[in-house]
């Protein structure tokens, strides 16, 4: 595998504060559809504080849908990652009659009623990053995200090459019920799941958190007598926490335990450059312009692909990380 390999091509494109706190309006993006100089209103039902990747993604959306571009973006991050606060914000946007809704769901299920209500109000909905379950494409215009199964399969293919004789491994997962967690498991298992030379020691959520990643992996190392060769962390923060756990166990990350992560944040790239991480799969958060194009097409009644895949890259060496760091935007 080359040090820096482009693995994806484009295919065909919070905390919501309780309603008593109100929905904040933010500036953000491209030529809007409002007539007579009016701004096109966009309700952004967002996730909110959840690590560097989420911060970069949501800031990119806000920086894209600006008043100068003809848009009024109403940003509603979820209260403590609570789905009810997201549903309340979504309902408020429908009642208000915004022109379009962007949705990054904290949980995959439970959105049918809300999406049907938006459909009845003729308000197009675009999914940002996370999908819904069950995935009824009749209820939204498109989902815009990197290809999670393929991203995770890329990590697994690296692992298979790195450990030709197999390895004992553990998986640190994101929160239960989130679509990307299931998709990343699907991609990993498509490569490693049937390989009998790999022994799965278990999987546990660490909720995308550095602190929880450290705590969970400390327990994993102790319960297995430090006999763990490989960790797949489904995001960078959990992997960075695992580095601390490995070091405190008297082991050397990158040598005794190889850690692979997904996201490609600056912190992870620095850890890869230092040899503490062994592999980083980018999950590109900077797709505001793609979302803007999808919004404009939806408002004009044009056809939009039901899933727009965001191109991403992989990094498998300190040299690759060092080359990428000067231009890293998140």
Domain assignment present for residue 322? The answer is: no
Q: What is the model's pLDDT at position 313?
A: 95
**Residue numbers of the chain with a pLDDT score lower than 50:** 1-36
Task: Report DSSP letters for 74-104, one per residue.
Answer: EEEEBGGG-HHHHHHHHHHHHHHT-SEEEE-
Q: State residue 105's pLDDT score.
A: 95
29: Cα separation from own chain's centroid? 21
**CATH number of the domain to which 279 belongs:** 3.40.50.2300
What pLDDT was estimated at residue 16?
Answer: 32
- Cβ count within 10 A of residue 285: 27
**252: nearest Cα among 220, 282, 278:** 278
In angstroms, what CA-CA distances link 183 with 132, 146, 152, 314?
12, 11, 8, 18
319 domain-assigned: no
200 found inside a domain? yes
Indicate whether 112 and 163 sit together in one domain.
no
Q: What is the H or E stretch that residue 187 is in?
A: helix 179-192
Q: What angle do helix axes 236-248 and 266-273 make, rounded to 10 degrees?
A: 40
Q: What is the pLDDT of residue 37?
A: 61
pLDDT of residue 80: 86
CB distance 184 to 234 below 8 Å: yes
Shared domain for 216 and 114, answered yes or no, is: no
Local structure of 137: helix, strand or coil: helix
Please indicate, yes or no, whether residues 39 and 69 belong to a single structural domain of this protein.
yes
Q: What is the pLDDT of residue 6?
A: 33
- Which among 84, 95, 116, 3 is positioned nearest to 43, based on CA atoms? 95
pLDDT digits (tens, 9 = 90+) for 149-188: 999 999 999 999 999 999 999 999 999 988 999 999 999 9
Asked whether residue 330 is assigned to any structural domain, the reply reads: no
328 occurs within a structural domain: no
Q: Do 108 and 154 sit in the same domain of this protein?
A: no
Q: Tell me the pTM.
A: 0.86
Does 169 share its domain with 279? yes
- Would 178 be classed as within a structural domain? yes
| Omega of the bond leading into 134 within 30 degrees of 0 (cis) | yes
Domain total of the chain: 2
Strand duo 71-77 + 24-26: pairing: antiparallel
Q: Which domain holds residue 293?
A: 4-144+286-311
**Cβ(106)–Cβ(78) under 8 Å?**
yes
């Amino acid at each position: 595998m080359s040090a820096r390999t482009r693995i994806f091509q484009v295919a065909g494109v919070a905390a919501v504060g309780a309603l008593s706190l109100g929905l904040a309006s933010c500036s953000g993006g491209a030529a809007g559809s409002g007539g007579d100089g009016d701004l096109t209103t966009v309700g952004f039902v967002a996730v909110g504080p959840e690590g560097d990747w989420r911060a970069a993604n949501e800031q990119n959306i806000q920086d894209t849908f600006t008043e100068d571009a003809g848009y009024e973006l109403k940003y509603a991050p979820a209260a403590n990652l609570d789905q009810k606060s997201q549903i309340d914000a979504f309902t408020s946007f429908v009642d208000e009659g915004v022109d379009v809704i962007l949705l990054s769901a904290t949980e995959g299920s439970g959105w049918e009623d809300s999406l049907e209500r938006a459909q009845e109000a003729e308000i197009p909905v675009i999914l940002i990053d996370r999908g819904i379950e069950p995935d009824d494409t009749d209820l939204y215009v498109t989902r815009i995200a990197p290809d999670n199964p393929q991203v995770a399969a890329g990590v697994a293919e690296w692992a298979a090459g790195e450990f030709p004789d197999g390895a004992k491994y553990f998986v640190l997962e994101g929160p239960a019920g989130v679509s990307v967690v299931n998709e990343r498991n699907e991609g990993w298992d498509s490569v490693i799941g049937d390989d009998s030379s790999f022994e799965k020691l278990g999987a546990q959520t660490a909720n995308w958190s550095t602190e929880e990643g450290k705590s969970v992996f400390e327990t994993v190392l102790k319960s297995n007598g430090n006999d763990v060769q490989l960790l797949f962390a489904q995001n960078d923060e959990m992997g960075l926490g695992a580095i601390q756990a490995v070091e405190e166990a008297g082991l050397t990350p990158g040598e005794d335990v190889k850690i692979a992560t997904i996201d490609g944040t600056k912190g992870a790239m620095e850890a890869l450059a230092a040899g503490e991480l062994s592999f980083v799969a980018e999950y590109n958060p900077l797709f505001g312009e793609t979302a803007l194009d999808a919004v404009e097409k939806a408002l004009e009644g044009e056809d939009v692909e039901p899933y727009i895949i965001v191109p991403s890259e992989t990094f498998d060496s300190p040299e690759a990380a060092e080359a990428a760091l000067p231009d890293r935007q998140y």
